[in-house]
Amino acid sequence: MTAVAMTRLIKNTEVVLVESDDIATVGVGEATIPTLEFFHEILNINEAEFLKATGGTFKLGINFENWRNTQHQYFHGFGVTGKDCWAADFQHFWLKGKQLGLKYEFGDFCLERVAALKGKFARVQNKGINYAYHLDATAYAQYLRMLCEKNQSFRRVEGKIAEVTLTTNSGEIESLALESGQNISGDLFIDCTGQRALLIGDALKTPYKDWSHWLINDSAIAVQTQSTEPPLPYTRSIAHASGWQWKIPLQHRVGNGLIYSSRFLDDQAAEQLLLNNIEGKPLTTPRKIGFKTGSRSQHWNKNCVAIGLSSGFLEPLESTSIHLIQQSIIRLLKLIPVNGLRQVDIDEFNQQTEVDIASIRDFIILHYVVTERDDSPYWQYHTQMSIPESLKHRIELFKQSGHVCLKNDELFEDSWMQVMIGQGLTPENYHPIVDNMSAKELSKFLGDMRELIEQRASSLPSHQDYIKQYCASRS
Ligand SMILES: Cc1cc2nc3c(=O)[nH]c(=O)nc-3n(C[C@H](O)[C@H](O)[C@H](O)COP(=O)(O)OP(=O)(O)OC[C@H]3O[C@@H](n4cnc5c(N)ncnc54)[C@H](O)[C@@H]3O)c2cc1C
């Protein structure tokens, strides 16, 4: 992703991609959020072609099963829920309706959720439907490489980095020595070496902030299976007694995985749990991936920018890692050094990146701490766990007065509401501006909106049919 963006958008710069055929990409990371559409748009990537190449499907949100309790499910849809007014968000109107005895679920007012649960999808003009993608991660990497290779200013060097040489005076990265003996020098190095973090970590010794006391999962087991039904237009996230499972439907297979904490579940039991809860025949051998949740203390250090897993990791509960990658790429392109490095640019990059990651970190922790579950040592741990002050404030603000206040261009406004309500947090009060509507008017307002959403969702084609005519993959 970084190489495509650099080659397509920054002219007069030679981009060298060093990649080892012996070290595969992590090969997971197959669910995205809607911001990827914008990234592709600025890179002039053709959507249908990309979906064909990656066996991709559309994603309208995530169905969270067994998260509030073992009998409950809710949907985090990508769209806007209901209609708000200048003073109060829609949840205030919904809440009063609920107090009046109207039986609507909050998600009934989200077109994406209603369409997803009917298995419907179509692209609608003017962002009438918000969507993201499910994609085959390995195929996506190959597709992006092919795009890079079309560009004259791009050079791919196959080989394993054996050593990173620093300059003696400034301690910046001077060059990379490959096992083949080849040396690669450069002005700016972007560390995309994944969890190995060869440049930002091993060479520059940039500290890693460990957040595993808040996000205790440290392991994943992934397995791909045959599809047993037409692809759903959403990701499934199923909570278990000691972790949670993802199901990501592609055109040609399903990606499955279990995320868990080795403190509460051993690898063998985890693998069995996953295999007991998949539908299709396995296509791959289950694969264990370990990780440590946290973030680099600096994402840009000297002449090295960490992008991807080298810069940190938050578990994929809300499919945010690829989004963080693209955010870092766009941020780097905005602050790209001209005529040498400037510390102010570096500081700005680090500060913005940190705000982004901390907000997503809080959003993920929310799922574990606002829940009725305490049915296993894993869930009991979360009932007693301390949480970041920033999250504590958000939860109290929503609980006591029903507000979600975002800072600057923070992601996820609607998502916070959907997840807080879905996990079982109902505000104690609604905003008094809602009382400007009589009970009859409010009931009509909600009823009409609900009916319109139902009609719009029903009128869409099935997800499967849409894929067939728009982007059927050859595989
Ligand atoms: C279990 C799990 C599930 C995930 N699910 C999601 C998801 O649903 N959605 C999402 O957005 N994100 C998800 N992610 C995160 C996502 O997978 C990563 O952010 C993304 O794949 C980027 O990885 P990367 O490029 O940083 O690292 P990698 O994919 O590990 O790539 C590292 C690259 O560095 C090269 N390399 C390493 N060492 C050397 C060396 N010595 N010499 C030369 N080259 C070298 C390798 O060849 C490789 O190309 C998930 C992650 C995990 C662990």
Name the residue of 2, 17, 19, 28 whose CB sits within 8 Å of the most ligand 1 atoms, as the mutation to test its pocket.
28
How many Å lie between the centroid of ligand 1 and the Cα of residue 425? Answer: 35
Q: Do residues 423 and 67 touch, judged by C-beta distance below 8 A?
A: yes
How many Å lie between the centroid of ligand 1 and the Cα of residue 291? Answer: 11
Name the residue of 25, 190, 320 whose CB sits within 8 Å of the most ligand 1 atoms, as the mutation to test its pocket.
25
For residue 28, which atom of ligand 1 is closest to its CA?
17
Tally of CA atoms within 13 A in the half-sphere of 220 that contains its CB: 21
How many Å lie between the centroid of ligand 1 and the Cα of residue 11? Answer: 27
The whole-angstrom separation of Cα 421 and Cα 337 is 44
Residues with CB under 6 A from ligand 1: 18-20, 23, 25-26, 28-32, 137, 160-161, 192-194, 196, 198, 220, 222, 257, 289, 291, 308-310, 316, 319, 321-322, 325
Which residues have a Cβ under 8 Å from the Cβ of 240 and sit 6 or more positions away?
Answer: 66, 258, 260, 273, 277
How many Å lie between the centroid of ligand 1 and the Cα of residue 141? Answer: 10
- Predicted confidence at residue 397, as pLDDT, reads 94
How many Å lie between the centroid of ligand 1 and the Cα of residue 26? Answer: 4
Q: Which residues are registered as beta bridge partners of 219?
A: 260, 290
The whole-angstrom separation of Cα 400 and Cα 403 is 8
The whole-angstrom separation of Cα 381 and Cα 111 is 36
Question: Domains of the chain: which residue ranges?
Answer: 219-290
How many Å lie between the centroid of ligand 1 and the Cα of residue 147? Answer: 19
- Predicted confidence at residue 152, as pLDDT, reads 86
How many Å lie between the centroid of ligand 1 and the Cα of residue 195? Answer: 7
Residue owning the nearest CA to atom 41 of ligand 1: 161
Paired tokens of 7: 């080659």
Q: Do residues 52 and 252 touch, judged by C-beta distance below 8 A?
A: no
One digit per residue, the tens of pLDDT, for the chain of length 475 reads 999 999 999 988 899 999 999 998 888 889 999 999 999 999 999 999 999 999 999 999 999 999 999 999 999 999 889 988 888 899 999 999 999 999 999 999 999 999 999 999 999 887 789 999 999 999 999 999 999 999 888 999 999 999 999 999 999 999 999 999 999 999 999 999 999 999 999 999 999 999 999 999 999 999 999 999 999 999 999 999 999 999 999 999 999 999 999 999 999 999 999 999 999 999 999 999 999 999 999 999 999 999 999 999 999 999 999 999 999 999 999 999 888 999 999 999 999 999 999 999 999 999 999 999 999 999 999 999 999 999 999 999 999 999 987 776 677 778 999 999 999 999 999 999 999 999 999 999 999 999 999 999 999 999 999 999 999 996 6
How many Å lie between the centroid of ligand 1 and the Cα of residue 428? Answer: 43
Question: Which segments of 43-188 does DSSP mark as H helices, in order?
Answer: 47-54, 90-99, 111-117, 137-149
Residue owning the nearest CA to atom 22 of ligand 1: 308
Length of the chain: 475
- Predicted confidence at residue 86, as pLDDT, reads 83
The whole-angstrom separation of Cα 385 and Cα 30 is 30
The whole-angstrom separation of Cα 271 and Cα 259 is 10
